[in-house]
Amino acid sequence: MATTADFKNGMCLDIDGNYFFIVEFLHVKPGKGPAFVRTKLKNVRTGRVLDKTWNSGVKVDEVRIERRPYQFLYKDEMGYNFMHTETFEQVALPGESIDGVQFLKEGDICEAMVQAATEEILTCEMPTSVVLEVTYTEPGLKGDTATNTLKPATVETGAEVRVPLFINTGDKVKIDTRDGSYVERVK
């Protein structure tokens, strides 16, 4: 059991049988009335973010979470198959529980959030950026624009991203997996 004084970003709570990560929190002590804690909670299963206000000192159920490295092997009708890099145990996860799944390619190492008590995998996070090869994009013309504009490009995983005009088919680009944005060209 933990109290509202123990809140920190990334902490996992069990609220009515559902798991929530604390995205942000704020202790508020108004001039009149009791202190309280305002939080933004992200549902582990659905990804929905909700606001919740707690009275100061309330006890909550904390869930112990471990981060473990898993390597992506392949995708089939069971879902996305991963292997624990230390124990070589294989598990299948649905695509909804993986952040940035459209940029996942074979051999990538992801970090899985595992509930320590039941060994249940809650979510799987990709690295913040990945390097992928552009498989198709329209050629950009020199002098085509006065400002930096973007064009659509398809990468090796099949995802479509927006890249600058100077990127050509066969170039390697670094992509931010959180929002799918172009970061830089990789030599």
Neighbours of 68 (CB within 10 A): 18
CA distance 173 to 57: 48
Residue 88, token pair as written in the block = 């070589």
Q: Would you put residue 40 in left (φ > 0), alpha (ψ -120 to 50) or beta?
A: beta
Place of tokens 């198709």: 136
Nearest 5°: the CA angle 183, 9, 80 is 55
The alpha-carbon radius of gyration of the chain (Å, integer) is 21
Q: Give residue 122's pLDDT.
A: 85
Six token digits for residue 110 = 């992801």
- What does DSSP assign to residue 81? E
Share of the chain residues as helix, strand and coil, in percent rounded to the nearest 5: 5, 55, 40
Is residue 28 within 8 Å of residue 37, measured between CB atoms? Answer: yes
**HSE on the CB side for 61, CA within 13 Å?**
8
Q: What is the pLDDT along the chain (187 residues), one digit of tens a residue?
A: 899 999 999 899 999 988 999 999 999 999 989 999 999 999 887 788 999 999 999 999 999 989 899 999 999 998 999 999 899 999 998 888 888 889 999 999 999 989 888 888 888 888 999 999 999 998 877 666 666 788 899 999 999 999 988 888 999 999 999 899 999 999 8
pTM: 0.76
Question: Could you give the 3-state DSSP secondary structure of residue 82?
Answer: strand
| pLDDT value, residue 148 | 74
pLDDT for res 123: 85
Sheet strand arrangement including 172-176:
160-164, 150-155, 129-137, 172-176, 181-186
